[in-house]
Amino acid sequence: MKKLLRAAAVLTLLALALMVWSVLQPTPLPVMLAMSLGQALGTGAFAMFGLAILIDLRRSRRIRRESRQPPLASLREVLAPPEHESPEVSLRIPVLRELLTPPAREAPEDPSGELPAIEAPAPAAAPAPVADPETVPTTDRSEDKA
């Protein structure tokens, strides 16, 4: 990725050189080169830069996630059932959960009162929340959104 960025920097320098040449000497060859090859090099370099930043972002996210995986994973099991088993996916996003909680809280037959909306679908999810390997990436993404 370092290499990608260095290549992007070199290509940008080349593209800039073509552009400057065409501005200083506006004759057919430099102008045509700048407006075709220069354009392509510059755009390509910028795309490479974007790619490098994206790769870096994903990598640092993965590192952060892995370093705090175990506690979070268990907490999540308590708070939110896996996506495909829960009918109310939106409940796993804290803001929406806040919004959606009140009516459930008013339900008289609920004894705990703390997180009723989450607990309601919990029995359905009970069979195998951890055993299913599919659940790990799904819940991970929800964590990013949060």
- Chain residues that interact with other proteins, rule: CB under 8 A: 1-2, 5-6, 8-10, 12-13, 15-16, 19-20, 22-24, 26-28, 31-32, 34-35, 38-39, 42, 45-46, 49, 53, 56
Shortest reach from residue 51's CB to other proteins, in Å: 12
Q: Which is nearer to other proteins, 41 or 115 (CB)?
A: 41
- Compute the least distance from the CB of residue 92 to other proteins, in Å: 29
2/145 with CB nearer other proteins: 2
Tell me whether residue 35 or residue 136 sits nearer to other proteins (CB atom). Answer: 35
CA–CA separation, 79 and 142 (whole Å): 12
Give whichever of 47 and 72 is closer to other proteins, judged by the CB atom. 47
Pull the structure tokens for residue 59: 């990598």
* CA 34 – CA 22 distance, rounded (Å): 6
Least distance in angstroms from the C-beta of 11 to other proteins: 9
Q: Are the beta carbons of 121 and 97 closer than 8 angstroms? A: no
Q: What is the DSSP letter of 81?
A: -
Specify the DSSP class assigned to residue 124. Answer: H
- 21 with 34: CB under 8 angstroms? yes
Please answer whether residues 79 and 94 qualify as being in contact, where contact means their C-beta atoms are separated by less than 8 angstroms.
Answer: no
